[in-house]
Structure 1
Amino acid sequence: MRALLDILAQVFRSIGANKLRSFLTMFGIAWGVASLLLLVGLGEGFRSGQRRGLAQLGTDVIMIWGGTIPAMPNQHTGMRPYKLTLDDADAIRTQAPHVRNATAFINRGDLKEVSEFSSSGGSVMGVEVNYPEVRHLPIAQGRFLNADDLAQRRMVVVLGQKNNKLLFPGRPSLGAFITINGYRFQVIGVAEKIGRGNNDGDNQRIYLPLSTMVELFPMTGDNIPEDSISSIQYQPLTPDMNETAKAEVHRIVGQRHGFDPNTKDAFDEWDTIKSERTVGLIFTAMDVFLGGVGIVTLALGAVGIINIMLVTVTERTKEIGLRKALGATSRSILTQFFLEGLLLTGMSGIIGILGAAGLMVVLRAGMGNNQMGFDPPRLVPWSAAMALGTLTLCGIVAGLYPAIQAANMEPVEALRKE
């Protein structure tokens, strides 16, 4: 134990005797480690932000809208438009075994909402009771629509968070009344804020019973059914069954509207499950690339440490010869130079990891969680583990090779070296 402490003392004296060289060597390694962790952390921030953004829409949601039917496959002449209907939604719920939930709604942005205090122009949505089960819509005050509201076509609304502030600035809204294109509705609930940043589209909506919407504010246009709706949004039984569920929905819609369900151009849809997977693959590839770049950077830093240690061995050749002539063993010489290389690498890596973690904490405190599509970078455990593992390997190589060179010196030849 005493011998090991003496060797460590010699290692630190050697590092301290060449302060500038040691600093520059350690800075290169620390910079490489910090860069690796920051780049991977930024990538994970984007990945997390995208996931959070999709989660604001709902869980495992597939959205389908009315589309156009080409006269012939892969041709875009003589296109015939079609609208989805309430019967389509009912058919999907009863005839698609791999769909666990489906909801229909009408969305109109040309209606005028007025309270006794102010007015607003956000979109008005006629929705079903199960809308919050498919789409993300938490309620902050009051309640959401229920089955009686739809069955009795009640004149009630739920306000989005931003619309609540616009229509009732600084005043209570529950139980109050608004008019939509002259029709009087009572406020029964207020939704929580949805999304982050300045994206207030979802927060400027007003929700009323779909049955009331069909009666008072149906879809407008020429030659469309009376029960036309804007969209049907559904969830597969499990995320892995998204393609099976889509095939079933395509078959139902195609049969009901008289076209081949294999005509992909006839469907206007968005599969958020597929989008999330694609985003995940992109960021996984980015992480692999950045991890590879980081490993190469650390390997180059290890080469630099090997060069520095070889220079150190050359400079201290006579010292090594003298120590061996006085009885120092090859093992003690090897241990000293090995520990010196390992300590240089290890301390550099720890400084890099702590520096990156500190910078991420500062960025998180400064940015918060309000940036749309982007979360603050965070220290990813696997990247830190990879950095430590690579540093350990580099430190062993960087310390062992020069140490072997020093330990193999013959005392007489070392003393004669100029």
Structure 2
Amino acid sequence: MSPNPPSTFAAPGHVRVRDILYMAVFALRGNWLRSTLTALGVIIGIAAVIIMVSVGQGTQAQLDETISRLGSNRIDVMPNWGRQGAVRMGAASVFSLTSDDVEAIRERIPQARHVSGIVSGSVQVINAEQNWSTRWQGVEPDYFQVQDWTLALGDPAEFGDYAGTDTIVILGQSVRDKLFGEEDPVGSSIRVGRVSFTVVGVTNVKGQSGWGGDQDDVIFVPLDTARRRLMGQMQMPPGTVQQITVGAASAADMASVEAELNALLKETHKIPPGGEDDFMVRNLTQLVSARSETTRLMSMLLGAVAGISLIVGGIGIMNIMLVSVTERIREIGLRMAVGAGPKEIQRQFLAEAMMISLGGGLIGIAIGIAGALLAGRIGALPVELNMEVILLATGFSVATGLFFGFYPARKAAQLDPIEALRHQG
């Protein structure tokens, strides 16, 4: 150990906090490498907590954004996989959904607040010398409510016209940028395939989907217009829709609407008991929930690592402080002899334990913040730093030192002064 600092124990109960901290720093500085290694468990634990929470909160924020992009309380109904003999075909090879199904859902499932049939495809769109290949969707008015589409340009009342057969089109922002740049396209005519359409609106930006696609690279036309003008060689039966999208009245209604959709379509499609459905109902929030569950399990794993590291670090602090008490028995006796009481001795050793833990916590916070930012930049993980968590981590580091330093400090305080002075260390 380094030489003892000048004693400040003039009389029991008169030691200032500043003096206790000074002596704690003096004692730890004499074995700075040992103190640093002792704090390693706390460093790892605090860093793991910050990285875990930052990535977890960032992922949750991304999931919330994904849900909002997918649409409010949305359920999709699609044709089931086709079969030709023993060979399964793609879903696009089956046309099992019709506008009659859409009407049945509207009439018989009250909790289905918004319902729209959908047909879609790809097409070349042209404005003067500008052209762009995009996807089109033939939809009904309710589609825009289900998907939370709003207009940046144009009159929202135009959504109501999507129940007719007019050759009107709403552009996604990406298509508007390709064909018109910064110009206002509302009222302009463009060619969609071989048909002239009038632009009546431009949607607000939605950005990328949860699967990386550009949601704004799309145009919307009325469902009946799409069937008559854009279906081309698809040879779909009259009244067919490729997909039905349903918006439940509330999140609490999702499960019941899904169950009613299955029951209704089994009935209208005359599916016998035990028979294979020619449709499938997909609750998109289930996909997000599955991803959220994976994130939660990863967070629990990281949390377990952080917890174990803090416990190991705390045990390391306790072990080193016990060694320190043994090494400094004579020093403790001398301080008691010049007036230090058991409380002052206990406070000094507690201060040393807490300073080791707090120092490790501060280093862990720095490493945790750097690690979280690095994970966001290199690992492309969503990261959201939270100052409350950083402050909580600081509190945890202090609490670790207090909890695991208490026993060694108490042991030091209970030493007999005479026996301590006789000790030959």
Bin of the TM-score, shorter chain as denominator length: 0.7 to 0.9
Change (3 A) 1:407 1:152: closer
Structure 1 equivalent of residue 107 of structure 2: 94
CA displacement 1:286-343 (0-9 Å, x = unmatched): 2222212111101111111112212221221211121223332222211211122123
Structure 2 equivalent of residue 411 of structure 1: 417
Deviates more, 1:93-102 or 1:251-260: 251-260
Structure 2 equivalent of residue 35 of structure 1: 48
CA displacement 1:103-157 (0-9 Å, x = unmatched): 2221112x33221122222111111122221003232222356366235522211
- The alignment covers a number of residue pairs equal to 407
Amino acid at match of 2:269: H
Amino acid at match of 1:353: I
Change (3 A) 1:168 1:219: same
RMSD over aligned CA atoms reads 3.2
Q: Distance in 1 between matches of 2:300 and 2:159?
A: 50
Match of 2:383 among 373, 376, 384: 376
TM score, norm. by length of structure 2:
0.84
CA contact (8 A) 2:96 2:279 kept: no
Change (3 A) 1:154 1:202: same
Q: Distance in 2 between matches of 1:78 and 1:37?
A: 48
Structure 2 equivalent of residue 309 of structure 1: 321
Amino acid at match of 1:379: N
User: Structure 1 residue 189 and structure 2 residue 201: aligned?
Assistant: yes
1:386-397 aligned at under 5 Å gives the runs: 387=393, 390-397=396-403
Instruction: Quote the offset at 1:180 in angstroms.
Output: 1.6
Change (3 A) 1:138 1:264: farther
Match of 2:69 among 44, 56, 79: 56
The residue matched to 1:122 in structure 2 has which SS?
strand
User: Structure 1 residue 106 and structure 2 residue 149: aligned?
Assistant: no
User: Structure 1 residue 136 and structure 2 residue 123: aligned?
Assistant: no
Change (3 A) 1:190 1:237: closer
Q: Distance in 1 between matches of 2:341 and 2:30?
A: 23
Change (3 A) 1:398 1:247: closer
The residue matched to 2:208 in structure 1 has which SS?
coil
Instruction: Quote the offset at 1:170 in angstroms.
Output: 5.1
Amino acid at match of 1:38: I
CA contact (8 A) 2:67 2:288 kept: yes
Q: Distance in 2 between matches of 1:83 and 1:23?
A: 69
Change (3 A) 1:88 1:174: same
Structure 1 equivalent of residue 258 of structure 2: 246
Deviates more, 1:282-291 or 1:146-155: 146-155
Match of 1:297 among 309, 312, 317: 309
CA contact (8 A) 1:218 1:228 kept: no
> Runs of 5+ in structure 2 lacking a partner?
1-12
Amino acid at match of 2:386: L
Q: Distance in 1 between matches of 2:160 and 2:217?
A: 25
Match of 2:96 among 83, 87, 99: 83
The residue matched to 1:123 in structure 2 has which SS?
strand
Structure 1 equivalent of residue 8 of structure 2: none
CA contact (8 A) 1:69 1:82 kept: no
**Same amino acid, percent of matched pairs:** 26
Instruction: Quote the offset at 1:263 in angstroms.
Output: 5.0
Deviates more, 1:86-95 or 1:250-259: 250-259
Q: Distance in 2 between matches of 1:47 and 1:261?
A: 40
Structure 1 equivalent of residue 133 of structure 2: 121
Instruction: Quote the offset at 1:363 in angstroms.
Output: 7.5
Deviates more, 1:400-409 or 1:88-97: 400-409
Deviates more, 1:198-207 or 1:299-308: 198-207
TM score, norm. by length of structure 1:
0.85
Instruction: Quote the offset at 1:231 in angstroms.
Output: 0.9
CA contact (8 A) 2:325 2:412 kept: yes
CA displacement 1:183-234 (0-9 Å, x = unmatched): 1111111122222399454222111122222232348545x43111121111
> Runs of 5+ in structure 1 lacking a partner?
none
Q: Distance in 2 between matches of 1:129 and 1:209?
A: 8
The residue matched to 1:203 in structure 2 has which SS?
coil
Instruction: Quote the offset at 1:96 in angstroms.
Output: 1.0
Q: Distance in 2 between matches of 1:64 and 1:362?
A: 41
The residue matched to 2:138 in structure 1 has which SS?
strand
Q: Distance in 2 between matches of 1:123 and 1:112?
A: 8
